[in-house]
Structure formats: structure tokens, C-alpha cells
Structure 1
Amino acid sequence: MIPVRLELKNFLAYRSPDALYFEGIHLACLVGENGAGKSSLLDAITWALWGRARAKRDDDLVHLGQGDMYVQLDFEQEGLMYRVVRQRKAGKRGVGTLDLFVVQQNGDLLTMNEPNMRQTQTKIDSILRLDYETFVNSAFLQQGKADAFTVKNPAERKRILGEILGLDAWRVYEDRVKRQLKTIRTELSNFDGRLQEIQAELAKEPQYLREKQQAEEAYAQAEQALNAAEVLLAEVADADSNLRNAESQRATHAHRKQTHENDLGTVKTQMTQRREAIAQYETIIATAEQIEAGYAALQEARDRESELGKKLSQLTDVNARYGNLEKQLRDAQAALENQQSELEGTIAVLKGQINGAYETELADVQAQIAEMEGFEKQREALSETISQLKQDDSGLKSMLKTLANEGKKLNERIDRLGTSDSDVCPLCGQPLDEVHREQVLDELTTDRDTMREQYKEANQRIQSIGDEVKDHDAQIQALGDKIAVLPRLRQQAGTLQAQATQAQDAQVRLTKSQAELDIVQKALAEGDYGHDLRIQLQQLDEERNTIGYDTDEYEAVSTQRAEFSSYEQQHLQLQVARSALPTEQTALDNLLARQEQLEKAIADEDADLKRLDEEIKALSVQVAVKNQRREEVLKQRALFNAASGKLGSANQQLAALEQLRARRATIEEQREQAEQQQALYKELEYAFGKNGVPTMIIEAAIPELETAANELLGRMTDGRMHLRLSTLTTNVDGSQRETLEIEIADELGTRPYEMYSGGEAFRINFAIRVALSKMLARRAGAHLRTLFIDEGFGTQDDQGRNKLVEAITAIQDDFDLVLVITHIDELRDAFPVHVIVEKTNSGSMISVR
């Protein structure tokens, strides 16, 4: 992993500095005054890649007074350019985002995000092939944590070395082998259980042979009994069908007899009806002379009534037209009277409108409206002022909260610095003399006093805003009471304006309406209307006199017609009787002949039914015998089937034994293969375990790590110190256990690492950490060809510093980028490139020289 470009926003000491480009930088130092943000740049890199930094919470990384932060890192990995963008929004419900891209050659971004941040982080770890803990224990010498690897216990040191060497893969292999071994053991257990089951089943073969012989004998006996029963059943096989045929014939004859009896009843009913009809017709024909005379008188009355009805129809039409004309004449008079009433009402209303006076009242109302609208504008201006004051109040309260938090942090830093008597700064871990301590205390105290003054001013302004808001609210309330009548005044002004306009129009309309009223009143008084209607009424009076309709004559004719009206029905009945009597007599003769035929057919059907009853009785006896013999056949067939089933089952059991023998041979072959696999996987389990290949890799890596560390340590101590790494140690009982002990040899002898302190301990730490970084750059697929060194020079004297710089210069070719952080000015010239961090009022800024 080689950093290419770093962009920050609101991250720790940085607001929005220019992006930092690493291209062309091989060996450089990062310089700047204390608190400028040198270490923050490396925090930005680790936070972008792993979401981890020195702060306990992400919100602590956000620049003071800001609500969010943003870090973008472009880096090269195995020939590809990647971009990681991590953002954070601070607060109680703070949220973060993480985006991963591949930067293509044309500059386009290819999104590599997973469904959530956790999975995207896993992908980044996979691309880098290392996690945060491995990084900070090897290639990143953090400020005050150069001994992060050496101070860990031996087991933890060995674990970290294993991660650097990529031994996690061997644990994965070991777990896979163990799971496969468990599966094989389960298979072997299943094979053994199945073989036991098969052997138990094969032991039953003599029993199955005896059962087969018994089944064959029972089968032969059952077959013989079944054949004999089937012969007896065949003798009466047709009894059922013969009985069904006889019963079907009897049902047919019974149906025919019933049909004949029904027909005979119908014939007798029809004969009675014919005799009654003949008697009625003969009675009507006997009164024929009287019926014909009455019918002639009825026809004469109808003719005279028809003539008078035509005249009545003409008279009715004339009367209807006369009544319609009278109605039209009345309607014409009513229309004139309605017009007269409407004109009188209109004139009264117009006079009322003309007599009203609205101009003076309208002017007074308009003056009141103008005054109220001025009050309304004053109230709106006060409301806007209150809104702005409340916004200022909210901003000041937020600032008070921020100042309180920052003041608390400043007090804590002042207390820590003031109470510490160490020569190392408790805030940044750098060497600290008394002059520097006082200088820093003065700066922190000045910052605190400034914050307190800001806090006091903000509080005073908040109180002032509260008083102003109360005063403005009172004024708004008073103005609101005054302008409450404004809607009513506007409505009243509209009404008065409309009334004034109407009064002007009313005078013109009054003159016109008075002229129309005079014309209508004259027409009503003189009857000067409906002239055509009056002429038509006179003509209808003359037409009515010429019709000559007599009401008395019409009533006498109607009475005569009513008296003889019954003869019309009697005349019709007479005609029907004369026509139908011969037909009825013929039909009666035919019915007598049909009665004789049906009585003979019924007698024949009774004879057939008697014969079939005797035949059905005999066949029923045969059917009972057949049922008994069928039951016997079913019984023998069931016995035969049972014997056949037992014989088949016996044969299947013996055939199954042969299949089991073949299955046993297959399982034994499979079991042998499983045992061979088990032996192979046991060997792999040992090879992949901690005593196998991983131990061999660590044993092979230890000399390389010792050589690289001793090369640097010898360079920094003029060959005075030499370290050795031991992977085994002897217990009290004489047994050995795995470990990773660090032993240091110098002119005083060999001692454990824990016996060294100060500058010597730092040189040992530095040598081991650089050796681990070089190993990480070449092994485990991590390809981390970058080394970060944050401070550490404060523990060295001038000669020690020079030796460290020489050592860093000597190892630079093993890395693509070496970045050293220092605040010691004398060391700047030892590095060809300077990355300078400077404090400004708008946050720290970065420049490269």
C-alpha cells in the first residue's frame, strides 16, 4: 500500500487544507510546532482505511465547532489505484459513510461498495491484506507507542508475528481439515453400524428357507380348494341375469297395465263431459226464436246511439276549444296584472335606493382602513425582528454549549500540565522543560480566558434578546387589538361603495319603469287586450248552435241498449250450439269404442303378470344359492392370495439377502477408502497445526527478523548491542513451551528486553519495528512498502539521533515511502523533503518543500 493523495476536511486541527500529494516523495520528514497536527495526518490515513485513530470516539476527531468531517485517501496497491472516502456527521445520532472506488486510467471511478459499511471494511482489509492492529504493531511507529510490539507478552508477540507472516491461512486450513476428519469419523461410524445390521439380517437365512417351504405347501392346497369352488359357482352363474330379466319384464307389464288404467279413467271422464255438453246445446237451441228477436232490438238501439254519439263528439270538441280560448283570455289579463305589480315593486325599490346617502359614510370608513393598514405593517415588521432575534438566541446557546465543552477540556489540560512534574509532556508525550511548560500553560490559560469572556458576552446578549422579544411581543399584542376591526371595515366599505353605484343607476331605471306602468294600467282599465281571442269565442258560439244535439233522446236510446245487451251473449251461444252439437255426438261414440278396447288390454296384462311372478319366485331361490357359492369362492381366493403373498415374501427375503451381501462388499470397500482418507487428514491436521508448517515458517522467519533488527541495532549502537529471539523456553519442571522472548546482549552481558529503558529501549524498539516492517513489506501478501515513524527522537542524545537518521537512511531503499515526524529543527536538514504543518486561524495548513 503506497499513499498517493490525502484530502481532509474538518479533521482534528484541519479545516479545509490543500490536498497532500505523496507522489515523488521517497524519504521525507513531517515538521511543525506542537499541536499543529503532524500526527493527525497519520491518524487521517488510519481512520480512512480502518476507521481507527488515537481518539476513543469518532466525534472527538471532528474539528472544534464543526458538525461533520471528511477524509479521502488515494493509494496504490498491486498496480491498481484505489480511493477510500470516509465521512462522519457528529451528534447524539451521528452517522458515518464509507465508499470504496477503483480509479481507472481515464480518471473515472468504479464503485466497489458492499451492501453495508462492515462488509465494505472487510473488502478494504482484503485488498490491503492486513488489519489495523498489524499495521500499528509493525509499519506505523505511533507517537509514544514505539514499544507496542516489545512490551506485549511473548504469546501476543508470537501472534502478531504470525499475522505478519500470514499464518492465519494455516489456521483456516487446520479448521477445514478438522471438519473433514469429523465428517470421515461419522461416515466410519455409519459404515460400522450398517455392516452390523447387514450381518444380523444374513444370520436369518435358515429361518427364511423354512418359511419358504411351508409357504409352497400352503399355496398348493389353497389353489386346489379355489378351483373346486369356482366349478360349483359356474353352475348357477346366470341366475342373477335371469332374475333381472324377469323382474324387468314384470315391471314393463305392470307399467303397461297402469297406463291402460289411467287411459280408461280419462276416457270415462271425457264421456261424462261430452254428455253434459250435448244437454246444454240442446237447451239453448230450444229458445232460438226469443234470442233472435231480442238480438234484433239491440242492433237497432246501437245504430241510433252511434248517430247521436257523433253529434256529441262534435259538441264536446267545440266546448273544449271554447274553454281553452277563455283560459287564454284570462291568462292575458293576469299577465298584465303581474306586470303592473312588478313595475310598482320596482319603482318602490328604486325610490328607496335614490333616497339613501352613502358618500360621507364611505369616506369615513376608508380613512379608518388606511390607519389600520399602517398598524398592520408595524406588526409584521416587529414579527420579523422577533424571528431574527430567536435565530440569534439559538446560535448563541449552541456557542455556549461548545464553549463550555472546550473550556472543560482546556481546564483538564491545564490541570494535567500544571500538576505533572515529569520531563515528558503529559499532553503530547514530547520532552518538556520548565520554560516550555510555562509557555504552554500561558497559551492554554489565555485561550481559556478568551473563551470565558466570549461565554460572558454571549450570556449577556441572550438576556438582552429575551427582553427585546418580550417588548416586541407586547407591542404586537397591542397592535393586534387595534387592527382586529380591519376585516369588518373593509367589508363595510365594499358594501357602501356598491350602494352608491346602485343609487346612480336607480334614477335612470325609475323613469323607464314609470312610463311602462302607465301603459299597463290603461290597457287593464279599457280591456284593450286579447282581441283575436274574443273574435274566436264568438265564432264558436255560432258553430255550437248548428250541431243540433238532443240530450234527452241520447239518454232514451242508451237505456234501450242497456235493456237488450244480454241478448248479444245469448245469440253467440246459440250459434256455437248449432255448430258443435253434431261433433260432440260423434266424439261420444268414439269414446265408447275406446273404453271397450282398454278393458280387454288390462285383462291381458293381468295374465302376464301372474305368469312372471311364478318365474321370479323360482329364480330368487337360484340367486340365493349363487350368493352362497360366491362367498365360498371369495373365501378360497383370500386364502390363496394369502398363501401366494407369503410365498412371494419368502422369495423376496431370500433375494434381499443376496443384495445385502453385495451391499456389504460395497460398504467394506467404502470403509477402507474412508480409513485411508482419515489417515491422510490426520497427517494434514498435524501439518497445518501450530507444531507443523506455521512453526516451520516462524522458525525460518526468526533468523531473517534477527538479522534485520541486529543490522539496525548495530548501526545505532556502533555494534555494542545484539538481540536474539527465542521461540522455546524451559519450564520449572524441565519441560519446554512455545514463546517469543527478546534477549539483548551488550558489554554488560545478556539481559531480557524488560531490563532496558530510555534511549536504549527506544533503539531496540526501533530496530525490531523496522525489521517487522521490512518483513511485512515482503511477506504475507500485504505489500505494505510504506514506513511511518512518529517522533521518538526526544529520548536520544545528539549522537543517538544521528545514528537513528543514519539507520533510517540505510533502510529507505526497502520501502517506497518513509515518512518521519519530528519537532526537532536540527533533524530537518537530514531529510531531502519536508512536509510542513502550520497553524492558522482557519485551521492547520500543509505544504511540501
Structure 2
Amino acid sequence: MEEARGRYDQLGESKNQLQRSIDTSRTLLEAKIAQLTRRVDVELGPKAGAETELAGQLAQVQQRLSGLDQEKVQVAGLRDRLTNTSTAIGEAQGTAERYLVEGKELAAKLEFLEKSGGSEAVCPLCQTSLGHDGCTALSHTYTTDIQAKRNLYRQNQQRLKQLETEKTDMEQEWGQRDQALTTSLREGQSKLQELESRIQESRDAQKTLDEERKQVQAAQSSLASGDFASAEQSELKAIEDLILSLGYDEEARQQSYAETRELAHFEERQGQLTQAEASLPAEQESLARTQDILNRRRIDLEQAQERRTAGEQSISELPQLQTGLKVAESGLAELESVRQTTAARLGYLDGEVRRLQSLRREVSRDSARLAALKEDEGIYQELVTAFGRQGIQAMLIETVVPRLEEEANLLLGRMTDNRMQVKLETQRERRSGRGDPIETLEINVSDELGPRSYEMYSGGEAFRVNLSLRIALSKVLAQRMGAPLPTLFIDEGFGSQDAAGRERILDVIGAIENDFDKIIVVTHLDDMKDVFPVRIEVQKGDEGSSFWIS
């Protein structure tokens, strides 16, 4: 009995130890399942399931950024228009300055012309006086040009004002849109990086979630099927079979139990100690797993703290960065202002260069035209000299005067019994006695009293000189033209002559009658009618004039 009891106690103790070991394994397995379930449900599940929502947010951010790309193009186009406007303003300013200078030049010319009254106004090419009509025409031209310059200046000023208004509006719009674009891009990029990081964390969480779900399912399956601590359970079943095979009596055992009750607490403590020793490896294993989990949590915590520290550092640096950004934006604004000023100056210089090129072309054309005009001026000057008083006229006069004197003196000698003679002088010395002789035509008549001027003779004498010169001039001209001079008209001229003078004139007419086919004399003297064989008499009556040939 004692041997069976001992064996029974030994097997019971082994059974209790195995049962405690199995219970410990169950407890550890349930704790692991609870821990994994909490991690799956609380930590990994929401994080893993957030990918779809984060992907939607990421798509929205990317769409906004794509929209900002279009805004970039529009802002860049606005900046280009602003640059072109600044260039146009510079060109308009240069044009305004040019119109102003040209208008002042025209006004100065007009003022000089009005002050001089045309007395000092000369042609800039030939240096001849413009005269009253030329000054009037030139004044009208200057006035028209000044009014045209004023109109162009006003139109240019209106365009310049419009361009400056457009520039101010575009500067304000560009500044607002550029600042808003920069802020939106910065916020969008930051949000994009955050979402990409969170999506990557979600994907990592999905992988970890799948693994830990498998671990939970395996642990739950093991717990439900009871196949955990399989060695201990197999050993427990074998001990239970041995206990049954002993055939031990319970009453005897109870009696023995009653006898050993006083020592039960020692056995209980021994059992606890043994159980503790038996569960120590499992507890150590659990402790190791817990320590591993704790280490991972510490690593996660350290990483989180590092991210927090980096974030706090970034936040602490944010005011400095914002200050630097403001300084950079201020510098950019100054550079933009300088760029616009430079663009305006460039436009002005481009306008001046084009104006200079245009002036060079005009100078080239005017130089060529001036050269041609100078050549024409030389030709015209030669023609002026040739057709002037000292040119062909002088040559003709020098050629004709001797013949004219000869013919006139021949006729005058017949009319005055060679008492009077004509001398034609075409040149005379200057009163100063210096320089070339002056071209002139002086009629000097000589008689028995000496040479005198034509105006110093009486009417009859002057008529004789006049008649002789006119007939001589007609003859000379007819001879030089190679044309006949068939008819001579003498209209009056006898009234200033005395009887002797009329006789001499009639003698002259008789002397030259062979030189002409017809000599027609018009007179009112009745005593002259009988001198001529053929007469055309005109008589005025109440009914008008009538004539007859006698």
C-alpha cells in the first residue's frame, strides 16, 4: 500500500507539474493572441486600411500640383507680357523724347522765320533768299509739321499712359499670383511628401498585418485544438494511464491523506517551488518575447522621437527660414524691378538705335540727293551765267551793237544831213573804279554841240533818233533771223517835227522805200496826205466809221 501510495503520489506530483506547465503554456498563448489581436486591430489595421484614402488624397494633391503647372505657365506668360510692356514703355519714352526734340527744333525754325520777317531767310541748299512767298510757304510747312508732331506726341503720351497702367495692373497681378503659386507649391510638395510617407507606412503595415494575422490564426487554432505543449500533454496522458494501472484505493489514500495533512503545507510549498521551477523556462521564453517586443517598441519610439526631434528642429528653424524667404523674396522683387527698369531702358535704347539707323538712312539719301542737287546747281549756275546779262545776251549784244549803230547812223545821217550820230555803250566803269565793268546800255547821241544823252534832245530830234534806231533794229533782227521784212509801219510821229524835219523824214522814207515792199504811215496831218500816192482814208460819221482807198 505504501509502495502504491508512493508511486501514486509520485505520479500525481508529476501530473500536477505537467498540468501547471500546460496551464502556463495556455496562459502565454492566450496573452500572445491578445497582444497580436490588439496590435492587429488597434495599430496595424487602421494604418493598413488607410492606403486607399491616402491614395485618393495623394491623387488630389497631384491634381492640384498639375493645375499649378498650368498656373506656372500662365504666371510665366504674365511675366513675359510684363517684360514686353516694360520694353514698349521704354520705346514709347524714347519716341516721346524724339517728338519733343523735333517739335522744339521746328518751333525754333518757325520763330526765327517769323522774327526775321523773311529778310534773312535763305534756302539751305542754294543760299538764295526765299522771298515773301517762299517764307509764307515754309512757315505753313513748319506749322503743319509742328501740329503733326503735337498730334503724334499726344497719341504717344496716351499710349504711354495706357502702357504704364497696364504695367501697374500686371505687376500687382503677377506679384499676387506668383506669391500664391509659391505658397501653393510649397504646401503641395510638403503634403505630397507626407502622403507618400504615410502610404509607404500603410503598405509596410499591410505586410506586417498579414504576417501577424497568420500568427493569430495559428495561435487560435493551436489553442482551440489543444495541440500546444504537445509533449507535456502526451506525458500527462501517460501518467494518467499509469495512475489507473496502479489500482490504488481511494479510502486508503484518504486515510493516508489525513495522516499527512499536517505536512501538506510543506508539500504545497514544495509543489509551488517545483511548479515555479518547471514554469521558469516558459516564463523566461515569454519574458524574452516580451523583451523583444519591448525592444522593437523602443526602436519605434526612438525613431518616432528622432522624427519628432527633426520636426521640432524644422519648426524651430521655420522662423529663420521664413525670414530668409522674405529676404529672398525682397531681393527677388528688387531684381525684378531692376530687370523691368533695364527692360524699359533697353526698349528706349532700341528705339534710339532704330531712330539712329533711320537717320543714317535719311542722311545717306539726303547726301546722295545733295550731291545730285549740287551737280544740278552747277549746271543751273552755268545756265544762269550763260543766259544772264553777261552770258549769251552780252555776246549777242556785242555782236549786234556795231551793226545796229551802223544802220541807225546811216538812217540818222540821212534825216539830219549827217549832223547827228548815235553811239551805243554796253559797259561802263564802276563809280568806285574797282572790279569788272557794269553791264548797261547807254544811248549817246552826238551833234555839232558834242555828245549828249538821249534824254537831253528835243522831241523832234529824239523822234529821229528813235525812228532810226527802231528801223535799224528791225533790219538787224530780220537779217539775223533770215526772214524778210516786207512792211514798215510808222504810226504818227510827225506831229513833233517842224516842216524841215518832216521833209527829212519823208526823204528818209523815200530813201528806204526800196528796202520794204510796203511802208504804211498813219497820220492825222492833212498836208501829209498828198505826199503818198496810195491812201486809205478813214472817216468817222454818225453811223460809224467808213474808209476808202484813193
The bucket for the TM-score relative to the shorter chain is 0.3 to 0.5
TM-score normalised according to structure 1 size: 0.23
Greater relative contact order (Cα < 8 A, sep 6+): 1
TM-score normalised according to structure 2 size: 0.34
